Structure 1
Amino acid sequence: MLNWDHMFATRSSKMRASEIRELLKLLDQPDIISFAGGIPDPALFPADAFQAAYADIFAGNQVNSALQYSVSEGYKPLREWLVGEMSKIGIPCDADNIFITSGSQQALDYLGKLFLSPKDTALVTWPTYLGALQAFNAYEPNYDQLSVTGNRTPGSYEAMAINMGGRVKFAYLSTDFSNPTGETVDLAARQHLIDMADEMDIAIIEDGAYQSLRYEGEAVSPILALEIARKGSIEQTRTIYCGSFSKTLAPGLRVGFVVANTTVVRKLVLMKQAADLHSSTINQIAIAHVAQRHFEAQVAKIKAAYNARRLAMLAALDRYMPAGTVWTRPEGGMFIWVTLPEGMDGADLLSQSIKTEKVAFVPGQAFFADRSGANTLRLSFSCANEQMIEEGIKRLGRLVSAALADAV
């Protein structure tokens, strides 16, 4: 058998299979109630709108350009539409400040490549988005725990990074209804992060994938909006905002975007040219067609559906989870984060759950850069109806109660 290991780059040792992608295979098993995949409900996709968009492209004079190579920055009418959307959330910018990617996951990969040299430190929350860790891992960084409450000094981060052989390059966080916890970073913490980044001279990567999915409470301005308000122009900011159409319109078209100062955008464009030249031209045009005509109605539709499921899951957790188990109460997004009593293991619980209760979820350990958090798990309510949620949480509560009884 040919041994490839000595031929692979050292960075390949940092690449790990996504535990979530593996769990998505359970969605095909009809006897499993799955709260595992943090994916949108395909029944809510605007399929008719996309069918009409592609029909318009092929019936009109856009078909040749839609099937042709395009500019690396992205389809300009889509970027111009995004300029208007960004202004609504307090981010004044130009089309030159917007860069289209093949999903926001590609944006994270490019930003890891742009900022991280081996042994540099990325500051991430504990827990954080698993896909971000996967994207950054290839560039051989170290991780340090980002505190959004201000209980660590910039000097402590810098000293730790130097001790590990590099320097701090950026702070990454999901600000609204984060994956995996569903929590939102408050205004004071966002302001503190700007102060900290200025003092340390690092970038902030703001993951806004779920920003549109607020179901209750008051919206909090994005970090990039707050920084522009302070400094007067996006060109003076160090925050890089990553967004996506995957959670609002459709993930299969793989269209995401970055909003940042033009110095960063120009570097990302060079990476795009070297990697895949540009994102799919026809998909960008189709996204632009649907966004211009249907975005607000589509977001309203999915918010109503997901909110009903969120409320159903929170109510079921209140009814069926035993004492000693706690969970977040998100105001939006797709996730609820459960913390089990100390000593319990989410991975062991999942193994037992699949065998006996037929309920899937994601063990929380996958979301910690240091592989801690064994007694946590992530539940997604986006792809289960209210009846499935009631039955699934009832089964899960029964399983947790039995595990606690066995431990006594």
Structure 2
Amino acid sequence: MLDWESIFATRSSRMKASEIRELLKLLDRPDIISFAGGIPDPALFPAEEFKAAYAGIFGGPTVSAALQYSVSEGYLPLRQWLVGQMAEIGIACEAENILITSGSQQALDYLGKLFLSPNDTALVTWPTYLGALQAFNAYEPTYDQLTTAGNRTPASYRQAATDAGGRVKFAYLSADFSNPTGETVGLEDRNRLIDLADELDIAIIEDGAYQSLRYDGQPVPPILSLEIARKGSIDETRTIYCGSFSKTLAPGLRVGFVVGATPVIRKLVLMKQAADLHSSTINQMAICDVAEKGFDAQVSKIASVYSQRRDSMLTALSTHMPDGTTWTKPEGGMFVWVTLPTGMDGTALLAKSLETAKVAFVPGRAFFADGSGANTLRLSFSCANDAMIEEGISRLGRLVRSEMVALAA
């Protein structure tokens, strides 16, 4: 047989299966309570609104344009609507500063391709979004730990990158209710990151996938907003903001976007042209229609449901988890991050949990670029009702407690 491995590009060895995508298969097992998939609850999708939007497209004068090739930048009315949305969070921009992508995951892939040469360094948080690591891995980077608390000097980052055979190219982070931890980066740390990026002369990739999903607490301005306020114009900034409609309207339509300085957007448009010409026009038109008519109402609806589920999960963790186990208390998003007692392993715990407790979650190690974080795990509350959360966390708490006893024996 043909030895495919011998003719694959070297970058293919960096492509690994997503533990999360594999765990999503468990959603079809009725005996499993799953806190694994960080996916929206389909019961909350605005299905009737999309039905009306598509009917309007097919029954109106724009149907030919909806089914035809289109510009790579994206559907202009959608980009213009996004200009207004960005202005509401302090990001002053024009349609020319926005590219529509096939989900924000495609944006991360393009940005990895744009910035990373082999052995260049990407600064990422420990832990970070697994999908970002998968997107960047193909471009053969080195990873270094991004600490927004200011306990690393620019010189130390620069020297580590030089020792690895490249240079630092960007810092990537999810600043609001991050996947996987649910934590939010504070205002001081956001400003400190801009200072670091200026000193290193690198880009900042701000993943805003969960930015709309705030349930309580005070909003923090996006990093791009803060930088525009400092420098006067988006075209003077180094922050690139990635957003998505997947968590608010419908993930299956695969509509995301990138907001950034004009030179960056122009390069990304060239990548879009070479990769898939443009994102689905009809899906962009439908997203635009639904967003224009009721985006805020949709966000309010899902925030009301998810905030209740978050509260239920935090209460259940407090009730059922043994001493020595800690967890984050997110102000929004879809995730709670659990740190198990030292010596426990999330991957081993998952194997036992699926066999005995019948509860699924994501082991934390997958989110660490260096493979650390063995005693951590991610729980998602977005698709579990209160009864499932109470029962599932109760089972998981009993399992953790039994594992602690076994470790102490």
- 1:132 Cα deviation after fit: 0.1
Residue 255 of structure 1 corresponds to 255
CA distance in 1, matches of 2:163, 2:90: 39
What is the CA–CA distance in structure 2 between the aligned matches of 1:371 and 1:250, rounded to whole Å? 32
Letter in 1 for 2:262: T
After superposing on structure 2, the runs of 4+ consecutive aligned residues of structure 1 that deviate more than 2 Å are none
Give 1:321 deviation, angstroms. 0.1
Q: Determine helix, strand or coil for the equivalent of 2:387.
A: helix
Q: Could you say which residue in structure 1 is the equivalent of 2:300?
A: 300
> 2:377 aligns to what SS in structure 1?
strand
User: What letter is aligned with 2:153?
Assistant: T
- Give 1:184-199 correspondences, 5 Å limit: 184-199=184-199
Q: Partner of 1:101 in structure 2?
A: 101
What does 1:378-389 correspond to in 2, within 5 Å?
378-389=378-389
Summarize deviations over 1:113-163 as a string: whole Å, max 9, x none: 000000000000000000000000000000000001000000000000000
Find out whether 1:224 has 2:241 as its counterpart: no
- Output one character per residue of 1:214-265: Cα deviation in whole Å (capped at 9) or x when no partner: 0000000000000000000001000000000000000000000000010000
Aligned counterpart, 1:32: 32
1:204-243 to structure 2, matched below 5 A, reads 204-243=204-243
Aligned partner of 2:3 in structure 1 is 3
- Give the counterpart letter for 1:59 in structure 2: G
In the TM superposition, residue 3 of structure 1 has moved relative to its aligned partner by 1.2
Cα distance in structure 1, aligned partners of 2:360 and 2:294: 33
- Say if 2:276 is the partner of 1:276: yes
SS in 1 for 2:179: coil
Q: Helix, strand or coil for the counterpart of 1:205?
A: strand
What's 1:344 paired with?
Answer: 344
Matched, 1:58 2:52: no
Is residue 77 from structure 1 mapped to residue 77 from structure 2 by the alignment?
yes
Local SS of the residue matching 2:250: coil
- Normalized against structure 1, the TM-score is what? 1.00
Separation in 1, partners of 2:39, 2:329: 19
Aligned-pair distance for 1:322?
A: 0.2
SS in 1 for 2:7: coil
Identify the residue that residue 393 of structure 2 maps to in structure 1.
393
Letter in 1 for 2:47: A
User: In the alignment, what sits opposite 2:20?
Assistant: 20
Aligned residue identity for 1:89? I
> How far apart, in 1, do the equivalents of 2:161 and 2:407 lie?
40
1:181 match: 181
Q: Give the secondary-structure state (helix, strand or coil) at the position aligned to 2:243.
A: strand
1:43 aligns with 2:43: yes
Amino acid in the other structure paired with 1:170: F
Shift in Å, 1:204: 0.2
Show the counterpart of 1:326.
Answer: 326
Unpaired runs of at least 5, structure 1: none
DSSP-derived class of the 2:374 partner: coil
The corresponding residue for 1:365 is 365
| SS at 1:6 equivalent | helix
Equivalent position of 2:407 in the other structure: 407
- Residue 2 of structure 1 and its aligned partner are, at CA, apart by 2.1
Query: SS at the partner of 2:165?
Result: coil
Task: Tell me which residue corresponds to 1:132.
Answer: 132
Partner of 2:164: 164
What residue identity is the alignment partner of 1:216? D
Q: Residue 257 of structure 1: SS of its match in structure 2?
A: strand
Deviation, 1:294, is 1.2
Structure 1 position 304, deviation (Å) = 0.2
Deviations 1:285-334 (A, max 9, x none): 00000000010110000000000000000000000000000000000000
**Which letter maps to 2:43?**
A
Structure 2: how far apart are the matches of 1:28 and 1:69?
A: 37
Cα RMSD for the two superposed structures: 0.3
Alignment partners' CA distance in 1, 2:3 and 2:387: 50
Q: How far has the Cα of 1:407 moved from its partner?
A: 1.1
Deviations 1:347-376 (A, max 9, x none): 000000000010000000000000100000
TM-score (normalizing by structure 2): 1.00
Secondary structure in 1 matching 2:313: helix
Deviations 1:174-194 (A, max 9, x none): 000000000000000000000
Tell me the secondary structure at the aligned position of residue 91 of structure 1. Answer: coil
What is the CA–CA distance in structure 1 between the aligned matches of 2:118 and 2:397, rounded to whole Å? 44
SS of 2:147's partner is coil
How many residues in Structure 1 have an aligned counterpart in Structure 2?
408
Structure 2: distance between partners of 1:257 and 1:84: 14
* Identity between Structure 1 and Structure 2 (%): 75
Aligned counterparts of 1:119 and 1:235: Cα–Cα separation in 2:
28
Please give the per-residue CA displacement for 1:36-85, whole angstroms capped at 9, x wherever unaligned. 00000000000000000000000000100000000000000000000000
Q: Which amino acid aligns with 2:211?
A: Q
Distance in 2, matches of 1:341 and 1:247, equals 32
Q: What is the letter of the counterpart of residue 56 of structure 1?
A: G
How far apart, in 1, do the equivalents of 2:3 and 2:391 lie?
48
Equivalent position of 1:121 in the other structure: 121
- Partners in 2 of 1:259 and 1:128 — Cα distance? 21
**For residue 110 of structure 1, what is the aligned residue in structure 2?**
110
What SS does structure 2 have at the residue aligned with 1:204? strand
C-alpha separation in 2, matches of 1:51 and 1:402: 50
Q: Distance in 1 between matches of 2:354 and 2:202?
A: 43
